[in-house]
Amino acid sequence: MASIEDQKILIVDDDVTALTLYETILRAAGYKNIIICNDGAEVELRLRDNDASLVLLDINLPGLSGIEVLEQITGTKTNLPVVMITGDEDLQTVINCMKKGAYDYITKPPAKTRLVTAVRKALEWRELNSELWAMGRRVLDRATLENPEAFSKLVTSSDSMLAVFQYVEAVAGTNRPVLIMGESGTGKELLARAIHESSGRQGAMVTVNAAGLDDALFSDTLFGHKKGAFTDAHTDRLGLVERAAGGTLFLDEIGDLAPASQVKLLRLLQEREYYQLGSDVARSTDARVIAATCVNLGKRIEDGRFRRDLFFRLMAHQVTLPPLRDRREDLMPLTKVLLLEAARELGRRIPRIPKELNSLLNLYDFPGNVRELHSLVFDALSRTSGNVLSLATFRKLVHGKNIPDGSEIDLGYDGLVELIGHFPTMKEFTDIVITAALEKAAGNQSLASRMLGVSQSTLSRRIARNDASFGGELPGDGKGD
């Protein structure tokens, strides 16, 4: 959604005094882009030359009447809200306008709050319609993202993750808040940045971690202060809301926000206004708010620790990032990307990934999600001394005890069930057996094939098939004795 200053409002009235009043009220409310028209016959031309967001239309116009102009607008511009201005409250006239497509009506002379509220709600309706249209288009074309580069740091081939990307891309350009939920380590801040980059906003994305901020620190951090507001306030200081002007304010760990701070955030979302500490002058903002949490806000509302009205404001758009255990198809791709990152950071050569790693990753639920996998990959590379990635870190994690690289795996029934956590599938069993045989044979495929009771060509084909599937290599070099 365009900022409040960019919203174009066309006011149509033949009364010059009324036009001046409407314009003055709306400019004071922050609407700067106002187009004036005093002839109904000129409206069509004005709309053709200007991409108006809203029309304020007097019902009693000379020549072409307001009703006729309304019919022209609604016949060609279905997503352009029209607020009718009438000199009386004749119910039949109002009903007739609404039937012909008017969004709302106000009576002359309008109260300041009534005019501003009618304009704000009409613009919100227009934005919502645009969002629904965009989402509908995305449903029809699920296979593409308009700006895939914005999501490049979120490595995935998961349908559930791609559905999240498509949804947030569809609503990225609006001004409404976005609430991102998900377990710790699932990538909520990366998604917030992807939303910001997809929004087309020219301002910066500013991040605030709400956890541990008391109300005074929250207010000073977000809203800033005036000189003398408190003992150490020697100069004026702008807050992070100001730094996020024209951009995005990302509030992480929103579930831990103090009750008093929740009230101030609610006002910021409702009124788009805030007060610096030590000032009684309201400042306006056009920053888009994105909030994230890893806690159950529903339970916090029940416990009285989170405001229900704030939750409803934040959830204008909401998404939940799935945990890593629910998108296991991303485990190996993520591991490879993280290994490249670790190698660059540690100044190391990229080692070969043993085939066993895929099985080990699939045996673990990753309560810390991608953040935990990131740490594990870095630790594994740090422990690697040769050209094959050490699996000691992953084995200890899965088996709960130290199992050095090269150790044999218990292939008895009890050992398999303990290793896998369930009765093994045929593929899991085959993968483990082949890996164990190759490790026992020190990578000699000829010896491993004799141990398994299959020909070397059969074993080679199986290894090649697994390499293509997992992108890694079994610990064999393909050679015989």
101 pLDDT more than 90: no
Q: pLDDT tens, 295-326?
A: 999 999 999 999 999 999 999 899 999 999 99
pLDDT at 308: 94
- On whether both 291 and 169 belong to a single domain, the answer is yes
Q: Does residue 131 carry a pLDDT above 80?
A: no
The answer to whether residue 176 sits within a structural domain is: yes
The two counts, helices (H) then strands (E), for the chain are 20, 14
pLDDT, residue 426, reads: 76
Whether 267 maps to a domain, the answer reads yes
The structure tokens listed for 326 are 């629910």
Q: What percent of the chain has pLDDT over 90?
A: 37
In a domain? residue 347: yes
Same domain, 301 and 341: no
Residue 475 lies in a domain: no
Question: CA dihedral in degrees (60, 64, 69, 75; nearest 10)?
Answer: 150
Both 231 and 289 in a single domain?
yes
190-238 confidence digits (pLDDT tens): 999 999 999 999 999 999 999 878 888 898 999 988 888 787 878 888 8
Q: For residues 201 and 288, state if they share a domain.
A: yes
DSSP label of 481: -
Kindly report the CATH number assigned to the domain that includes residue 304: 3.40.50.300
Residues 112 and 176 placed together within one structural domain of the fold: no
The dihedral built from the CA positions of residue 190, 5, 35 and 80, taken in this order, carries a sign that is positive
Same domain, 277 and 347: no
Q: Is the pLDDT of residue 417 over 60?
A: no
**CA of 77: how far to CAs of 53, 54, 85, 119, 307, in Å?**
11, 11, 19, 18, 39
Rounded Cα–Cα distance for residues 176 and 290 (Å): 9
The answer, yes or no, to whether residue 140 has pLDDT greater than 50, is no
What is the value of pTM for the model shown?
0.63
SS3 207: strand
Residue 147 three-state SS: coil
* pLDDT tens-digit map of 169-184: 989 988 899 999 999 9
Give 468's pLDDT tier (boundaries 50, 70, 90). Answer: very low
On whether both 427 and 399 belong to a single domain, the answer is: yes
Q: Domain span at residue 103?
A: 4-135
Q: For the chain, how many structural domains are there in total?
A: 3
- CA 352, 327, 294, 313 torsion-angle sign: positive
Please check whether residues 181 and 309 belong to one and the same domain: yes
The pLDDT of residue 435: 79
Residue 141 lies in a domain: no
So what's the pLDDT on residue 203?
92
Read off the pLDDT band of 48 (50, 70, 90): confident
Give the residue carrying structure tokens 């509030």: 251
Encode pLDDT of 141-154 as tens digits: 444 788 888 998 89
How remote is the C-alpha of 282 from its chain's centroid? 29
Q: Which residue has the higher pLDDT, 463 or 199?
A: 199
Q: Which residues contact 101 (CB under 8 A, 6 or more apart)?
A: 70, 71, 73, 74, 82
Indicate whether 305 and 217 sit together in one domain.
yes
Contact 443, 475 (CB under 8 A): yes
The larger pLDDT score, comparing residue 480 to residue 60, is at 60
Question: Quick one: 271 and 380 in the same domain?
Answer: no
Question: Which residues are registered as beta bridge partners of 36?
Answer: 11
Average pLDDT, the chain: 84
Mean pLDDT on 274-291 = 90
pLDDT at residue 181 in the model: 97
Domain boundary among 279, 297, 322: 322
Per-residue confidence (pLDDT) for residue 424, from 0 to 100:
66
Backbone phi, psi, residue 288, to 5°: -85, 135
**Residue 334 resides in a domain:** yes
Which is more confident, 100 or 256? 256
Cα 72 to its chain centre, rounded Å, is 39
Question: How confident is the model at residue 2, as a pLDDT?
Answer: 56
Report, as an integer, the average pLDDT of 409-438. Answer: 64
Compute the average pLDDT of residues 425-438. Answer: 76
CA 284, CA 274: separation in Å to the nearest integer? 7
**CATH code, 28:** 3.40.50.2300
Both 365 and 235 in a single domain?
no
Does residue 477 lie in a domain region? no
Of 213, 203, 211, which Cα lies nearest the Cα of 241?
A: 203
Answer with the one of 111, 135, 159 that is the final residue of a domain: 135
SS3 328: helix
140 assigned to some structural domain: no
Alpha-carbon Rg for the chain in angstroms: 31
Domain end marker among 114, 135, 156: 135
| 435 and 463 belong to one structural domain | yes
Chain centre to alpha carbon of residue 92: 46
Reference 11, options 94, 93, 119; nearest CA is 119
Name the DSSP letter for residue 110. Answer: P
